[in-house]
Amino acid sequence: MATLYQEQSHNVWKTGFLMAMFFAIVILIGWGVSWYYDSSIILYVAVGFSILMNFGSYWFSDKLVLSMTKARPATREEFFDLYTVTENMAITAGLPMPKLYVINDPAPNAFATGRNEKHAVVVATTGLVAMMNRQELEGVIAHELSHVKNKDMLVMTVAVVLAGFIAIIADIFLRMSMFGGNRDNDKGGALVVVVAIVGAILAPIAAQLIQLAVSRRREFLADASGALLTRYPEGLASALQKIGSYSSPMKSANHATAHLFIGNPFGAKSGTWINKLFSTHPPVEERIARLLGK
């Protein structure tokens, strides 16, 4: 079984792999479009863009995710229990106090983001804060701080940004190819077909990058690590039960950020095949059973 330090190293490696894959895909598409339009400047723009996005995904991905989820800063005065629980759990975990944000949503859920321990952010919904007792809240926060310590949040957050931009870039280049260029019609027509095929397969590839970046093992590890922090696995187990049984989806639920959350943001009744296909969380019942040693 892999040690915690091996898991941390593996997550750093996966982040580098995602960035390298993003760089390669953008350069490949840029080369194809520059050949089609007989303009090397497009390739240079693609190189510059991919470097800029890799840099941005590392330094600013947390801000993008906070914007996507409509999170706002949580003050100590407004969310005293959330703030003090996080403060105590951070001390117990030997971590700096993360920034705290909340999402105005009745569905109970939470996630962590940020590039490292010093720039970590923990986000909880107002529904989670209202629904959990203190022991359950401690379990959830300990789970999220375990993601911080395990460096899960880095690879999860970078995956959101890079995979999303791959899909956007593919769509832009596909639309560009529809308006002709400097090549002859036969070659242009052939390229339209090729680009259309590439565009069609890039969307699922982008989704698969997210799937490869995260794993069900990461949730089990964070559950176990969180239980060790609180010394009370029943608290997290009870919190997971409440989160897993909540039927309504979050207002801002989407597949791009779903893997960040502690529970399924689409709700307990999200039984469609597409939600199951993109599910990166193990069944709640299995997580609870492991926590309680059943």
Closest residue by Cα to residue 111 from 264, 286, 291:
264
Q: Other CB atoms closer than 10 Å to residue 117's CB: what's the count?
A: 17
Domain limits at 235? 1-294
Q: Which residues contact 218 (CB under 8 A, 6 or more apart)?
A: 7, 147, 150, 152
User: How many domains does the chain contain in total?
Assistant: 1
Q: What residue has token string 């995260």?
A: 214
DSSP 240: H
**Positive or negative CA dihedral for 194, 195, 198, 199?**
negative
pLDDT at 1: 43
Closest residue by Cα to residue 136 from 230, 231, 238, 222:
238
pLDDT tens over the chain, length 294 residues: 444 455 556 656 766 776 777 777 777 777 777 776 777 887 788 788 778 877 777 788 788 889 989 999 999 999 999 999 999 999 999 999 999 999 999 999 999 998 889 999 999 999 999 999 999 999 999 999 999 988 877 777 777 676 666 666 666 666 655 555 454 555 555 555 565 556 556 655 665 655 555 666 788 888 988 999 999 999 999 999 999 999 888 988 777 788 889 998 887 665 555 555 556 678 888 899 989 986
Active-site residue flag, 77: no
Rounded alpha-carbon distances, angstroms, from residue 4 to 1, 7, 9, 159, 239: 10, 5, 9, 21, 24
pLDDT at 152: 79
Closest residue by Cα to residue 109 from 255, 294, 242:
242
Going across the sheet that includes 121-125, the strands are 71-73, 99-103, 121-125, 110-113
C-alpha 43: how far from chain center: 29
Give me the DSSP letters along 9-70.
HHHHHHHHHHHHHHHHHHHHHHHHHHHHHT-HHHHHHHHHHHHHHHHHHHHHHHHHHHHHTT
Tokens describing residue 37:
């339009």
Closest residue by Cα to residue 139 from 294, 287, 276:
287
Rg (CA), the chain: 21
CA–CA separation, 99 vs 87, rounded Å? 10
pTM of the entire structure?
0.76
Q: Which of 7, 136, 144, 219 is an active site residue? A: 144
pLDDT at 272: 52
Phi-psi region at 270: left, alpha or beta (left = phi > 0; alpha = psi -120 to 50): beta
Closest residue by Cα to residue 159 from 293, 278, 268:
278
Cβ atoms 236, 230 nearer than 8 A: yes
Q: Other CB atoms closer than 10 Å to residue 207's CB: what's the count?
A: 18
pLDDT at 58: 74
